[in-house]
Amino acid sequence: MTRIDTTFAALKSERRKAFVAYIMAGDPDLETSLSIMQGLPGAGVDVIELGVPFTDPMADGPTIQLAGQRALDGGQTLDKTLDMVRRFRAGNDTTPIVLMGYYNPIYSMGVAHFLEKATDAGIDGLIVVDLPPEEDSELCLPAQAAGLNFIRLATPTTDDRRLPKVLQNTSGFVYYVSITGITGAAAAQAAQVGPEVARIKAQTDLPVIVGFGISTPQTAQDIASVADGCVVGSAIVKEIASGKPVADVLDYVRALADGAHQG
C-alpha cells in the first residue's frame, strides 16, 4: 500500500472526508513554496498535490498558468521539484504527495530515470493530464510497477461508455473534475456533482475526490459531503500570488480543510 492508500483507509475508518491541497512547486520561489508545503499537514491537509511547472499547461486556467510561469522564471525544474520533495520528506514521512503535471518534462528526463528519482524522493502518485488511457504503457503501467499510484481524471463529459476505460488502471483515488473547462473557471455545485460521483462510485471502490471550482470553506464542505473529499488549487495559488505571508496562506488553507472535514 502507498501512503495514499494508507491515508484514505485511515480516513474511511474515521468516517472523515479528505482535503487535498494543490500548490505549484517553485511559486513564488523555491524556498517559500517549500515553507508552505511543509506547513500544509499542520493546516489539515491530508494529501499534497504538487504542481510541476510547464510551459503549455492545457488543463490550467490563468491563475495556475501564471504560477507556473513565475516558477519557471525563477529557474524551477522537474529535478528541483523532486529535490523539494526530498527536503520535505526529511521532516515528514507520512503525508502523501501527488505530483501533478504534463508528460513532456517526464519524457525529456526519461521514464525509467524519472520513476527511479520520483520514488527515491518520496513521491506517492502521479497525475499526468495529457496521457489518456490509450497510452497507459507509456507511463501509467511502469509507474504502478514502481509502486506509484496513477490517478486519473474523470469529467462531466466522461460518459458511461468511456468511464470503464478511464478507471481501468487508475489507483489511489479518482479525481473528478466538477466543471467543464479549465481550473479556476467556475464554482462547483454539489447538486450537480453528487449524481456524477455516485455514477463513478458505482463502477469503482476507489475514493472519488472532487476538484475545480472550490474556493470557500462552505463550498469545500458542500462538495466533500457528496464525495470522499475535495481538492483546492487555484484559490490557494491566488493567496500565494497575493504576496501574503506563509502563515496567512496556511490560515486560509486551514479554513478550507476544516470545511472539507465537516463534509
pLDDT tens readout for residues 20-47: 999 999 999 999 999 999 999 999 999 9
Q: Which domain holds residue 129?
A: 3-151+214-258
Q: Among all chains, which residue has been given the C-alpha cell 492508500?
A: 5
In the annotation, is 136 catalytic?
A: no
In the annotation, is 56 catalytic?
A: no
Q: What is the average pLDDT across 88-108?
A: 97
* Structural domain includes residue 177: no
Q: Which pTM does this prediction carry? A: 0.96
pLDDT tens readout for residues 238-254: 999 999 999 999 999 99
Phi, psi of 84 (to 5 degrees): -60, -40
| CATH number of residue 229's parent domain | 3.20.20.70
Catalytic residue among 60, 196, 222, 228: 60
% of residues, the chain, pLDDT over 90:
90
**In this predicted structure, what is the pLDDT of residue 148?**
98
**In this predicted structure, what is the pLDDT of residue 145?**
98
Phi, psi of 209 (to 5 degrees): -110, 135
Catalytic residue among 49, 136, 196, 239: 49
* Structural domain includes residue 170: no
* Structural domain includes residue 43: yes
Which residues are CB-neighbours of 70 under 8 A, at least 6 positions away?
Answer: 24, 26, 27, 28, 241
Number of domains in the chain: 1
Handedness of CA 254, 47, 197, 187 (dihedral sign): positive
